[in-house]
Structure 1
Amino acid sequence: MRSRPGVESRRLPAAAPRRQSGVALLALLTLLTLWGLYLLVGELNVTQFQVARKEAAGAALAQAKQALIGRAAGDDNRPGSLPCPAVDESGVAPLFAGNQCPTYVGRLPWRTLDVGELRDAAGQLLWYALAPALRDDDSAQPINFETVPQLRLDGAPNVVAIVFAPGVPLANQNGRPGNAVADYLDGSNADGDQDFVSGPQSAAFNDVVLAVTRDDLFRVVNQRILGEVRARAENASLPDHGLLGYQALNGGFPAADGDTDGWADAGVLAGRLPYRDLSFSPAALAWLTANDWWRLVSYTQISPCLARIGIVGSAATMDVSGAGPACP
């Protein structure tokens, strides 16, 4: 076909280059999408790993905390006291150096606590810090609900013990396996003072931390004390033991101690426990006296068949119901 004179002929551009450009753009978008998904999945995997690690560590720490509280409440000589940290992986609380623990930051004494080798998700044994005021030694007495522990976690006071899951070693922790605190605990948790910290996981800090507060510990220990005053089941063979023994022998509960001399005062219904009018096993009498518990046990005679005891300054109370023909 001829073009008209003076009129330039026009041709449509070839379609192939445009199609190739579109395909290249689509491929680039696909690649970017896949890369974004890769990064997202990678981030999710890291997050999931961190969550799983904290959950595993948390379970081990919770078990350790309960074991420590149970040990303190069940101690036969000083309820409320705790064992020294172990100095190695044996899990055995060491003997005292004089009247002090050889160390107040070490491994959890898992064998002494009879809980097995508690480990975190990295396979590391748990670590443990103890407030010196709660050490299981005569020199620490009196140990009772008013004892002030020296440890602090994130600035919060009244911490009697802390358990740690150390996790994988950080870049500067090259001494594992070993017994150096700084090769397991991070930052200020390894500086030897009584202030400890928790925090988010990072390249510089991966300790998972759980505190045992004074309230955590004595919430259970206080009930042990009240049970001892009421009359412990294993002492049932002692007919005059504690309040129940007194009530069984005398047909009613005693009056309260109104002037804190330990003796019942006629006509006084509420005050302190008249412990001098009661009988206890020699061992129980010794540690209750040495740890100044008598001063902290409140007592109310509600009726000849019902008394209420408690720990002064706490929410711990216990009703003691008598038995016998006069008691319904």
Structure 2
Amino acid sequence: MKHASQQRTRHRQRGASLLLMVIIAALIFFGLFSIRSPVSLRTDQESASAAVLAQAKAALIGYAATYKETHPGELAGYLPCPDTNNDGEYTPADNCGLKDVSVVGRLPWKTLGLPPLRDGDGECLWYAVSGRAKNDNKADVYNWDTPGQFIVQTPSGQVLAGATPHARPLAVIFSVGRPINGQNRSAGGGECPGSAADAAAAYLEGLGALGTGNTTVTVADAVTRGNGTNNDSALWVTSADIFGPIRKRSDFKTDVEAMLNNVATHLNTLTPLALPATSTNKGVGDPIAETAGSLAKLYLDSGVAGYNRNFFKNWSNNLLYAKLGSPVKVNGESGCYAVLVFGGERLPAQSRDPVAPSTEA
């Protein structure tokens, strides 16, 4: 009996030892495979940041494309001012700067109908908008010829966006990453870390001075990420991004045709001698300065108001006008002493002033 008892004890000991070895092996296996390399972890964080940047860009484009519906009486295309007090939206309490002055702040996620998007490091997105495209303290003229005010480059100076005026982004969205290089960020108590008093410099390393001119944005590369001098990632919004969807809207064509018809109707009230002369660039004149004797001045003085007046002021640089020496037939109608044409979108090689008409229109 004693011998049998000893055998059972040895069997239990061997069984317990085997179970312990299995547990240890499992822990080692799962432990080894759960350890991520820094490179792999960084790649995942960058992928997460890229995804929320793309989501934010799509929301901004949608906001601009539907601005006419959400803001009755306004034209489509405007971008929201940033959230400068960290409440998730732009309100009059935020500071959107003077006319034409670019502004930076957090992405106004509530205004865009988004959750508080966070990058791969858990920080909420930041956002800078050109003064010419913002929806408060608006520019005098804003259309598809309006150049943005940002030039995006690498630390070595390679231009990623904005090599030419019409290629300059209208807005830039930032993934700011974790604090580096002595940056001090308050914890805050809202949806997004930080407080209303946080300066952009506590989050952005590569944003140049903002104003009415161009601002250089330097994004991070592998070197600056490694040495801790810049870890900003960015995605930008161009004029083509904004006005591509607007151009496809049926009501945009309707607005253009209404502008042409309204101006033509006014011109038809004038005698041939009273028609304004053709300007050197065949434009209709400055709709802001309303130069005496120009078609723009005559039309705006005719009593046009509201949406039609606003549309003309913002889009009349695309109109070409010529007074003819003798009557011709235009679109099947004889006896025309002047021609009015909407030039349409510029070609890639063309450059236009958004206010003064261009001879390249």
Could you say whether these structures have the same fold, taking a TM-score greater than 0.5 normalized by the shorter chain as the test?
yes
1:223, CA displacement in angstroms? 2.3
After TM superposition, give the deviation of residue 173 of structure 1 in Å. 1.0
Is 1:108–1:128's contact at 8 Å kept on the other side of the alignment?
A: yes
Question: Is 2:97–2:137's contact at 8 Å kept on the other side of the alignment?
Answer: no
Q: Does structure 2 conserve the Cα–Cα contact (< 8 Å) formed by 1:296 and 1:312? A: no
RMSD of equivalent CA atoms: 3.9
Shift in Å at residue 150 of structure 1? Answer: 1.4
Q: Deviations over 1:271-318 (max 9, x none)?
A: xxxxx9xxxxx8642432231258369xxx999xxxxx9833159xxx
Alpha-carbon displacement from aligned partner over 1:217-267 (angstroms, at most 9, x marks no partner): 22223223x533248xxxxxxxxx969xxxxxxxxxxxxxxx988xxxxxx
Alpha-carbon shift at residue 162 of structure 1 (Å): 0.3
- Who wins on radius of gyration, i.e. which is larger? 1
Task: Indicate how the Cα distance of structure 1 residues 288 and 312 shifts in structure 2: closer, same or farther if over 3 A, else same.
Answer: same
Unpaired stretches in structure 2, ≥5 consecutive residues: 1-31, 69-73, 154-158, 163-167, 187-193, 260-281, 285-298, 300-304, 321-329, 333-341, 349-361
Tell me which amino acid in the other structure corresponds to 1:195.
T
Q: Does 1:67 align with 2:59?
A: yes
Q: Separation in 2 of the partners of 1:80 and 1:123?
A: 31
- Higher relative contact order (Cα pairs below 8 Å, separated by 6+ residues): 2
Q: Distance in 1 between matches of 2:216 and 2:97?
A: 25
CA distance in 2, matches of 1:97, 1:71: 17
Given that 1:127 and 1:164 are in contact with CA atoms closer than 8 Å, whether structure 2 keeps it comes out as yes
Query: Paired residue for 2:40?
Result: 48
C-alpha spacing 1:111/1:82, structure 2 compared with 1 (3 Å): same
Q: Secondary structure at the match of 1:124?
A: coil
User: Residue 196 of structure 1 corresponds to which residue in structure 2?
Assistant: 217
- Flag as ranges the 4+ runs of structure 1 deviating above 6 A: none
Distance in 1 separating the partners of 2:49 and 2:173: 10
Q: TM-score, normalised by structure 1?
A: 0.59
How many residue pairs get aligned? The number is 232
Partner of 2:344: 311
Name the residue aligned to 1:181: 200
Cα offsets for 1:78-126 (capped at 9, x unmatched)? 3222111111321221436674489711101111111221111222110
In structure 1, the gaps of 5 or more residues are 1-37, 232-240, 244-258, 262-275, 277-281, 304-308, 316-328
SS at match of 1:82: coil
Relative to the length of structure 2, the TM-score reads 0.54
Other-structure match for 2:127 = 128
Report if the CA contact (8 A) 2:82-2:96 is conserved: no
Verify: 1:159 aligned to 2:156, yes or no.
Answer: no
